[in-house]
Structures are given as C-alpha cells and as structure tokens.
Structure 1
C-alpha cells in the first residue's frame, strides 16, 4: 500500500456516515469507484479449487427447478464473509452506492431533507444553494404531490418517495406543496443537479480566542472543508481549538490523516498499517499544519470510531492536545472496497492500523461479532478521574510506556485524558423510548416549527427559550403515544428535552450550526474541554 494510494480505504463502521445523506432525497447515485470485471455473476472460487462456483454451476445446469443463480451467489458470499471480522461486508448494489456517495459528500438530486409527521412530509432542511432552494422550496413546506402523484395522507413508504424524486442529472421533478396551511396554486419545478454536502456540521467562535468545529464523518472533502473552516476561525482570532468527533463513525483513511496533519509539523508519524498481505506502511503529516501550535482538545465518545480514533490517537500519542470524553468505540481495522460489475461490492479488511506509539485499538470481538455493528451507549459511572464502563467486551487496560508526560491506557478504543460521565438521562428507559420513537422530532416538526421567524439567528441563539407550556404539552403528547413516566422522570428530563427541542428549532430555522450552538450551551463535555483549554 503506497501512501498516495487511490484505493478506497475505509476505516469506518459506516453507521454514522450514512445517517445524514439517508435523509436527503433525490439521489441518483453514480458509481464513482473502480469496478472489476463486467459479468453480473460473481466468481466465488475458494483457493485453487473453485468449489463454490462449481457447485452453483451444477445447480444451475442440473437442479430439478429453475433457480435464481445470482441469489445463490449472494447467499454464499454472505455466509463466507460472516466467518471473517465484524467489518468485512458484502454490499448489494444499492447499499454499495449509498455508502460510497455518503462518504463522497455529493450526490445527484434536489437537496431536500424531510421528516414524516402524521403521514405528511415536512421539509426540515434544504442544502444551501441546492436545486430545491433555488427553485423556491422553503423549510416548513409540506409535500402534497410529486410528479402529479399524491403522497400526503396515503401512507406511502419512504422508498417509494425516494424513487419518485430520484432521477438522472438534468431531469425535472415537480412538487406540489402546502405553505402556511394553503396549497400553492402551481407545483414547484426543480431540475436535478449535483449537490455538495459538507461534513463540517458547525464551526464557530466560542469566545474571543476559542473555536469549535464539529465533524460528522470523514468523507472525500472533509479535510478540505475542515481546513477552510479552520482558516476562517483563525482569521477571527482563534488561538485555542476544540474538535468534536463525538458520534463520528469514521470514513476514509486518507481524510483522517489529511485532517490530523493540520495539527502537526511536517513528517510526524500519524499512524501506520500492517496486515498479513500488506507490509507496514507509515503515514506522516505532509506539511506544517495550519494549527500546528495552539491549545487543542478532541472530544470523543462511544460512537467515535476508526477515522475519528486515528485523529484522536495521533493527538494523544504525540502529546499535541488533550482527549476529552469517554472511551471510543475501538475499531482498528482497515477495509478496502472491491467492486463487482453489477454494482455490488466487498468491503474486505486488509490491515490493522496502529497509533504512533504502536497501539492497535481494535477491541477483541466475540464469535457473535454482529453486536459490534451498531455501537450503543453503555452504562457508565465515574470513579476518580477515570471511567468504568459496563461492557460485555471491555478490554483489559494497562499503562502504555512510550508517552512521557501523560501515560495512556491500552486496550480497545482510545481512553480519554479527561473523562466525562454519561448523562443519567441517556440511560433512562423512559428517555430511550422517547428517542427510539423520534417523539421529540415528531412534536417539534408537527406542533412547534412554523414559518421562519423574523428575528435573526443571533437573537435566537441569545434570547430564545422554549415557551413554558411546550414541555407540559410534550408530556401530554408522549402519553398519547403510550409512554408513561413518573413525576421524578418528568422533572429530571425537562432540561435535556427542552434543550433538544430548542436545538431542533434552531436547525429548522437557521441550519445545522444553530442546532449545535444551542445544544452546546448545556453540553457538559464541551464545558469541561473549554475549562481545560482556558488554563493553557
């Protein structure tokens, strides 16, 4: 593996990366990755024997009934891959395309994000400068019909809606909408175009010298987007930086190393990879970074995986900054994607990666390794300055000898330098049911979110507070959905749930950055990081 390889190296359990673009309609996913072969039948010879393919050929030629050969091949591949590690994965064509497009950060479509409330689609986000916004669609519009077909009140599936809106670049789609309770007299005509989506969710100055950048995934343009945002923040006077990688499931390997390079001088070892068929390859910072000096904190949590862990591991091992939060997910394996002629693909683990001090942060995984596919928040308590996490697969911990000033813990994941506790509400069964049911989103978009207000985003961030009646009304709504709660639970949940609702309103009115700026006002982990950097 050369440093400048163009192969698609994934270090992500892509659960996090696909969430954003999964909401964006109108995508006509192009195959931007190389394809190997042109046959729609996938060769499955094992070793030099070719037994699997031979068996499928015999079935196709001799079995008593007609069979769908491609389905047999898919089943065989799935069973083979299941015997490997948790991250080697066979993807059907549509899944492979969606995964690649999510990480590429662009797609062909109209750039609309919607939410379904009471069998009606509500526009809750528009890509700035995208086709839908340019054509006149507004946040808050309710979609009634697409290309003349009614979609409101007919219990249509999201897949069916997606199929109606998706199409080739340059082709038209018409959408009839209701605005402020009245159907517009004419549908809005939108031409599908290429839409770019940044993986930098928020970038702003916290105070006169401290900046915050939130990164949702490591896609093809993440390093470029990050560098542009960082340059603007430095112009505004930022001398201290907090990089938020919480809930970032990873992405492209090269994006992680390119972003990490911004924190170091030239030729610093950031990470290296090695595998049975892959010789050791070292990855270095490529130039003096834009933020090579200045106080730095990186925020991580249980869902920070792979590419996020590469960045955090380099910052920690090389003592460039502090890591704040909770132990990261623990994914130290690298996947390469091999494409097939029918659009399907195999994400195959080809190497392990190691932090500069030689740590492999991959958790050992049980035989039933499917449990690692979707990381979930584990119950945690704070003991002294470190955190004890209840986990069926927690790694043994020991001190790593190489780092002089602040020895680090080995074992699965990156253990932070400054531990923060899990919010008790996150482990509450009541709150979990509310989150799983998307009840906060349903209530905000269905009952609170109206037309964009006249006041500015600055006024909203500084002065807006949820009306007193809103939380009581929300609790009534929760009861109608069959979720009961105690008086104690209702009192304990009020601050967090009100913040959740205010943040969603900020996003609805003013975009992604407003969401994080509202949520961050009461974020304990961020407050700890700010306090830690303020003394440096």
Structure 2
C-alpha cells in the first residue's frame, strides 16, 4: 500500500472541467467543427459526445472511470484511481476504525463461523463467542446457502447506533433467541502483537502504518519496558506501508531529537526534510528490524533510517523497493486518486525505488543480491565506513533465505485450497481444551497421527501428493495448524507466539541482539 499523505481535495481533478453543450444535431450535419475542441478538455468532451450521441445508452460514470483508469495506467505502478467503495475501505483500514459489530468469520460448509472477536467490540459485548455459527441475520437465513462476502458485508456492516439480530448455533444447539447487537465504531489496532520473548527482549509486529500506529506502538513499548524490556525486535515483514507521517513518527522513537529520518522531493515538490521530533522512547536499547520482500514504502522508511544511521541491525530478506510518496485527492462521489507526488530518500540520500519493469525477483528470496534492473550503483557510506546502496529495496545486514519448505508445491496448493482452515475449524475445534495458554505454547505440538489424518483429509478431497512432498510440507502445515488452533482458543497473541517458535529470521535477530 502506498505511503500516503492525508490531504484530500474535494473537487474534481482530472476530468472536472465541463464544457458547453454542442449545437443539437439536425440529422444532416455529422461532422463537428474542430475549433470547438480544446485539447485541455478533450477527454471530457469525448465522453459527453458519446453520452449524447451514441447508438446505445451508456453511463457517463462508467466511461469516466475507464478514462481515468487508462490515464493513471500511464503513470507509475503506485498511482491508482479508487472507486468510492475502494477508497472507503482503504481509508478505514489506515484510520484503524469502521462501523460494524467487530467479528472475524470463516465460511465453513456454507455456514458462517465466528473465529475471532474484536476485544470490547459490539459483538463481544452482546455475548457472541468464538465458535458461534450464524444461522440468520435480521430474520434472513444465511446458513446452508451460498453467500458472497459482499452480501455478508451489506448485512453485517451498518451505521453506528443501528441494531442487528443474529440467530446463533452454539455447542450443538440453537440459542432460543437471537442476539441483539448494536452496531458501533470498531477500533482495530495496527499492532499485530506485542510481548516479551524473554525477560529483556520485546517483540512488536506491525501490520501497517495507519493513523494510530505511532500511538499504539508507544503504548505497547511503554508497557513492555515496565516489564523489563531492554532490547527490541521490530517485525515489519509483510508490512506494505501506509501513512508517510506514521512512519516518521514511529522512527522518531529510535533517535534523539532532530535526527534526519527521511526527505522527499519531486518535480512539483521542493525538498522537505523530516526529523525525529523528540527524544526517542527507545533511543538507546538494542534494536533489530525484520524485513522481507513484502516490506514496502513506510516500512522501508523506518528500516532505511535505522540502517543509514546505524541505529540497529536489519535482518531478513531484501525489501520490496518502493520509494514513492502518494497524496490522495478525493472526488465528490467518494472516489479518490492516489497520485505519486514525490520520491523519498534515506538520510544518506539513497532512493531505494526498484525499476517499474521489475515485478518480481526470486533472487531476493535465496541470496542477498542486488535487484535485477537496478540502475543505482552508487555506494553510500555510513559513519563507521559501511557501504550501503540505493535502488531495489533495503538489503538486510543479516540475510536469511526463504524457508524452502514454504516454497514447496504441495504446501502452496494446500494454502490456496484453504484446507488448513477448513480442517482446523471443522474437525479440531469441537471441544474446549483443558490446558492453559501457557501450557499450550510450551507443550502442544501437532501429533504425528493428526498430520497423517490431515493428509488423508486432503487426499479424500482430490489432492494428490507423493510421500516426499508430504514430508517437505510437514513442518509448515503442522506450524500453521498449531498456530490457528492457538488463535481460535487463546487469541491472536497465541497465534504469533506459536509461529515464532520456529521462525528462523527471528532466531537470527535474537542472536544478533546478543552479539552472536
């Protein structure tokens, strides 16, 4: 997701200029005088001509959208035109709130199953539980029939203060009365998880850079420091970015006042420097930042500043390589244009933007090599004399290749078919475990016979595999099942704790923090 300024222009941008109506056609005159066509408004004029004269009826809104799509496609890959619903969803995601009831669900055998609840959200407050099957919404039966995500969203989402009645099947029986849930503003943190890995090391994973990310991070870090944290692992893997200002605000926590974090510049944008705003909350502790090929934009701003200023160690795989800044311009109908207005540069002056023609580069998964097509071969030198380079993302200080098991064909097929989720929710969540979350995290590992049953399950559903393929996929499948079960019974923190038990990138980061 693009690093985005928050500005919104409420007037039309590309196609907003209107022109006077042409003289009515008489049936004899089929050519229009060239003099009335002003190049600055040719696109709008063309749309008006088609709308007024074409043999069939065509909606002008659709034509305008198509025209804008084609124009924006000629720019960089990160400028994009968003339809009203797309713009709304993006803004809700980055703002960290929406109006609804706060449930996470999975469609299991044509039945909606609650697999997560937003803590303190309307659904939890009304008495909904993880594992509930939704039978009907406001009297309309939804169980046992195909229903699209769009239809579900229309039924569940709604204006705050409005009520929704949900018929529930729980623990094998139907509840006698539907639950009445009052829709409200639901807050969603951009922090996936924050906890102590050991007595002195905090782990914080951020999924995106939204409006409240710096605030959420500060609150989490303060709490962990009270528990004794002196080291920090900041996990930015799979973090595609978000708000530009959220990245600079978060990076400020790692530096003293007035350290240059990043600067921006564009053809119509003069250079603007962004400095740390205050003494950082974590200005002197040992720091490791985890990145991968999907760490982009705002994530790379943070990682680039930490690497250039030698504040911490970067661990993982080369990041995505997006050094473009978007500003959002809104239209009156709710649609919006995310337009690239500047490039950003790390404190040493690196632009880590990869070539627009490079969509993927498998080498970054297996070797710490420059991205193909990178034209920037300039060496930038840190204070200690270390050389770093621009173009094609942030190269980690400690490179950890991708897990070859994750790349196995059978594992990818299993994930694509959603077999792990269906197996866990359909077969392994039928009874409440008798053990505590602590015992689960320390002692539960999927039994060998359960993995064999899972293999039978996918084979019965037409997925073929060899014994060698099953052996290669085993560690990833078992880890996913264990993590999903932990999330179902004990919440999202358990999910990440389970996944982190076998995370090689995290293990290497912990070694680096301890000087090994």
TM-score (norm 1): 0.88
Is residue 36 of structure 1 aligned with residue 42 of structure 2? no
Is residue 498 of structure 1 aligned with residue 478 of structure 2? yes
Q: Please tell me whether the aligned partners of residues 483 and 494 of structure 2 are also in contact (alpha carbons under 8 angstroms).
A: yes
Is residue 131 of structure 1 aligned with residue 122 of structure 2? yes
Is residue 197 of structure 1 aligned with residue 182 of structure 2? no
Shift of 1:300: 0.1
Task: Please say which of residues 408-417 and 61-70 is displaced more in the overlay.
Answer: 61-70
Find the residue that maps to 1:309 and give its secondary structure: helix
Residues in 2 aligned to 1:130 and 1:377: alpha-carbon distance in whole angstroms: 41
Distance 1:472 1:345, change over 3 A: same
Find the residue that maps to 2:119 and give its secondary structure: coil
Residues in 2 aligned to 1:167 and 1:81: alpha-carbon distance in whole angstroms: 32
1:149-168 CA-to-partner distances (Å, cap 9, x unmatched) read: 11111111121111111111
Is residue 428 of structure 1 aligned with residue 408 of structure 2? yes
Residues in 2 aligned to 1:480 and 1:396: alpha-carbon distance in whole angstroms: 52
Distance 1:35 1:185, change over 3 A: farther
Is residue 342 of structure 1 aligned with residue 333 of structure 2? yes
Shift of 1:11: 1.3
State the partner residue of 1:296.
287
Q: Please tell me whether the aligned partners of residues 56 and 72 of structure 1 are also in contact (alpha carbons under 8 angstroms).
A: yes
State the partner residue of 1:25.
none
State the partner residue of 1:157.
148
1:320-349 CA-to-partner distances (Å, cap 9, x unmatched) read: 000000000011100111000000110100
Shift of 1:510: 1.5
Shift of 1:407: 2.0
State the partner residue of 1:456.
436
State the partner residue of 1:76.
67
Distance 1:365 1:141, change over 3 A: same
Q: Please tell me whether the aligned partners of residues 44 and 52 of structure 1 are also in contact (alpha carbons under 8 angstroms).
A: no
Which residue of 402, 409, 412 maps to 2:392? 412
Find the residue that maps to 1:412 and give its secondary structure: coil
Residues in 1 aligned to 2:125 and 2:261: alpha-carbon distance in whole angstroms: 42
1:101-124 CA-to-partner distances (Å, cap 9, x unmatched) read: 001000110000001121111101
Task: Please say which of residues 447-456 and 321-330 is displaced more in the overlay.
Answer: 447-456
Distance 1:450 1:407, change over 3 A: farther
Task: Please say which of residues 419-428 and 490-499 is displaced more in the overlay.
Answer: 490-499
Distance 1:139 1:376, change over 3 A: farther
Residues in 1 aligned to 2:336 and 2:168: alpha-carbon distance in whole angstroms: 38
Q: Please tell me whether the aligned partners of residues 200 and 225 of structure 1 are also in contact (alpha carbons under 8 angstroms).
A: yes
How do 1:324-473 residues align onto structure 2 when only pairs under 5 Å count? 324-366=315-357, 372=359, 380-382=365-367, 387-388=368-369, 399-473=379-453
Shift of 1:398: 5.9
1:66-118 CA-to-partner distances (Å, cap 9, x unmatched) read: 22111111110000000001011011000010011001000110000001121
Task: Please say which of residues 310-319 and 439-448 is displaced more in the overlay.
Answer: 439-448
Residues in 1 aligned to 2:278 and 2:512: alpha-carbon distance in whole angstroms: 28
Shift of 1:43: 4.4
Residues in 2 aligned to 1:109 and 1:415: alpha-carbon distance in whole angstroms: 41
Find the residue that maps to 2:401 and give its secondary structure: coil
Is residue 103 of structure 1 aligned with residue 76 of structure 2? no
Shift of 1:509: 1.2
Is residue 183 of structure 1 aligned with residue 192 of structure 2? no
Shift of 1:268: 0.3
Gaps of 5+ in 1: 1-8, 13-31
Shift of 1:450: 3.3
Residues in 2 aligned to 1:233 and 1:195: alpha-carbon distance in whole angstroms: 25
State the partner residue of 1:475.
455
Q: Which has the higher contact order (CA 8 A, sep 6+)?
A: 1
Which residue of 220, 236, 245 maps to 2:227? 236
Is residue 253 of structure 1 aligned with residue 244 of structure 2? yes
Q: Please tell me whether the aligned partners of residues 309 and 382 of structure 2 are also in contact (alpha carbons under 8 angstroms).
A: no
Larger radius of gyration: 2
State the partner residue of 1:4.
none
Aligned residues: 498
State the partner residue of 1:279.
270
Residues in 2 aligned to 1:524 and 1:39: alpha-carbon distance in whole angstroms: 48
Shift of 1:492: 2.1
Shift of 1:51: 0.7
Residues in 1 aligned to 2:329 and 2:429: alpha-carbon distance in whole angstroms: 44
Find the residue that maps to 1:424 and give its secondary structure: coil
How do 1:9-28 residues align onto structure 2 when only pairs under 5 Å count? 10-11=2-3
Which residue of 480, 486, 494 maps to 2:466? 486
State the partner residue of 1:533.
513
Residues in 1 aligned to 2:56 and 2:104: alpha-carbon distance in whole angstroms: 46
TM-score (norm 2): 0.92
